[in-house]
Structure 1
């Protein structure tokens, strides 16, 4: 009996184009922008990166809470009292006193009835979206939605109906076509992380409710900073009470790691038993939830920090515009200022020139970016001093001229 041998198929072949782009980039002589190492972190705004003292303008540390003395003390105390980890799921042995305390802090922060904490922000979207909207339901979402939102849609097997970015009319057209009586979840973001632009939530939520949809808003990039109490864009636009689910993360303004969902829905607590990414993963370590709870409670009274972060955002945006850079928004809308590059090669060269100046920013490239743009994404921090912002502008001017972008 003869056996037919089949050649092994290369399951990595689908990544060949990306492999080639990366090889071409490194062959040009630039440092790998996706392998930066921080040898020592000095503060929320400075670190030793690849051996250089560097200003950090590419972290999500919007409110600068990572080195807050009260936050660090809370983490150390919890580490001493409860150990390094829970070694279990929230529905088994993984709910410690600190998990309840951080959920209490979230309920108070948002003035909502329910709060559910996940091990990452990614898992929050994955779990909530996939559990709420399943087969036979419809999810209407912005085409520029975060990867965790798209993955939550795929996991839940709902019908996914995308619409043009921030286009209210396009969103309504999609809602009109959905069969009457179908379950609908509209998913929006307060701040979109690539360009730093804000959604017209007030108008969009009104349209969603007109068609009987539930609304989920991801406030990852606005929580702690935007709105009178730092509750995000929905609060700022006066529509927080009309949002069914708010998703957020601890890895931005809160300054640690983890994710959450808050809601006023009367049946929300059942999610703890039916949401697979919550049930089937280990809970956050006690030191992490202690730092998060302390940070969240301090963010309730951080009006001065919010005001200073807005000053930083306005100054950086105006300064880069005056220098001749092309930006992702015509005016500052958030703590993110995106600088549009001509192409990936120029973007990588500019990223490296800034790093040599002593400035770290994010190099963002397709397919993560909208409209195939290459971006240098600047994420400001409330702990950046006014003098640091002026220093940053000088670095952009010198690097931009050296690379030939301005």
Structure 2
């Protein structure tokens, strides 16, 4: 009996749990077979500055990083990180609620409170974990999360982890948001999750109207300002500041991996019960704390961004110049006017997009190739992320690269 059962078990074929990804494998193999460089396996052998690197052996202008304010090579930021590593070592080897809170973790939270002029700040190991943790902790079973259909993956994953009822609405549609809110059962917990700047198209949310609708319908509001913090708003506090609704937003989520130039995520808020989140937010409680060197660099960067008005002005100038130049060349863009540091160049399809990406790389320009399902409406696009350290001459050089590559591939 035992022998027969053993034979039966050994003969069973396991279900290949990776087979569901076969279409993606096929698409990638088709692109590579056509001789296109792998757009999702770029190697930077050396980073020369916030705007230049050696990529696959080539001196390359970087137009595909989130280094919006160019803080990665700031001397003060680097010096602070070096000193903290010497003083505290390479890592924390523990969670924030155990041994993982060092001097610089508290300091970076103080810097965030100063930057946003808010009462509370909480730092996570990544921006993804900030959304995952805060959203899943705030809204659970029986609560409702109303969110933009084009929300970032970390927002969707936070909704799933919290087991709340999820109600999506059409992208940036105030009327659709209001209709969804009015259908929520009376007395239910309601959290509306929005983004200041949407990372694929670079478009800005109408937060002023949306926050008003949320408050009229008794919903709490969380805004992810990952792609606007440091750049948009008088003090760089994001779209909520720019549109005058920062005080009406309950929670702001952000990241250090964009304008701050390091790594990590955060949440700031004026909610009087905010500190309890440190005890009940699983991605905060059960994750090792960031190294003190990263925290010291981040705190220094945040405080310098408070006085970054000139950098912000130059970044806006770069955005207007590149957007206008690409439009004049005949490229189809994600927005009619420049709305952020992100400019999306729409491609006819994935094959043409990959060819254009490769042609630009050979010209000496790196951009992001984005494809479904990451992109809205199933489109393929090249995402350009400008930096405050790009010079006016570099922007003109970039336009020349786009013109030559676009004509060679037949897109313009």
Shared fold, TM over 0.5: yes
Aligned equivalents of 1:173, 1:203: Cα separation in 2? 14
Instruction: Give the corresponding residue for 2:318.
Output: 312
Please name the residue that 2:116 is paired with. 110
Q: Give 1:211 shift.
A: 0.8
For each residue in 1:346-403, what CA deviation from the matched residue of structure 2 results, as whole angstroms up to 9, or x when unmatched?
Answer: 0000000000000000000000000000000000000000000000000000000000
Q: Which runs of 5+ in 1 are unaligned?
A: none
Aligned to 1:291: 297
Match of 1:122 in 2: 128
1:203-352 pair list within 5 angstroms: 203-352=209-358
Match of residue 132 from structure 1: 138
Pairwise CA distance, 1:130: 0.2
Matches within 5 A, 1:73-84: 73-84=79-90
Q: How much has 1:317 moved relative to structure 2? A: 0.1
Which of 22, 32, 37 matches 2:28? 22
Q: CA deviation at 1:334?
A: 0.1
> In the aligned structure 2, how far is the partner of 1:147 from the partner of 1:31?
26
Q: What secondary structure does 2:54 align onto?
A: strand
Residue number among 45, 49, 57 corresponding to 2:51 in the alignment: 45
Q: What RMSD, in angstroms, separates the aligned Cα atoms of the two structures?
A: 0.5
Query: Deviation of residue 220 (structure 1)?
Result: 0.0
- The residue number in structure 1 matching 2:369 is 363
CA distance in 1, matches of 2:260, 2:54: 23
Aligned residue-pair number: 406
The structural deviation recorded for 1:7 is 1.8
Q: Deviations over 1:133-163 (max 9, x none)?
A: 0000000000000000000000000000000
Instruction: Output the CA distance in 2 between the equivalents of 1:292 and 1:11.
Output: 40
Equivalence map 1:44-193=2 (5 Å): 44-193=50-199
Alpha-carbon shift at residue 56 of structure 1 (Å): 0.1
Deviation above 6 Å: which 4+ runs of structure 1?
none
CA distance in 2, matches of 1:19, 1:395: 30
1:89-110 deviations in whole A, cap 9, x for unaligned?
Answer: 0001000000000000000000
Of 196, 205, 215, which residue of structure 1 is paired with 2:202? Answer: 196
Partner of 2:406: 400
Determine the C-alpha separation between the residues in 2 that align with 1:233 and 1:28: 42
Question: What stretches of structure 2 of length at least 5 have no aligned partner?
Answer: none
Question: 3-state SS of the aligned residue for 1:246?
Answer: strand
- Cα deviations by residue, 1:249-306 (Å, 9 ceiling, x for unpaired): 0000000000000000000000000000000010000000000000000000000000
Q: SS of the residue aligned with 2:297?
A: helix
User: 1:99-138 deviations in whole A, cap 9, x for unaligned?
Assistant: 0000000000000000000000000000000000000000
Shift, 1:238, TM fit: 0.2
Aligned residue for 1:87, secondary structure, equals coil
Q: Does the residue aligned with 2:310 lie in a helix, a strand or coil? A: helix
Cα separation, 2, equivalents of 1:68 and 1:8: 53
Q: TM-score, normalized by length of structure 2?
A: 0.98
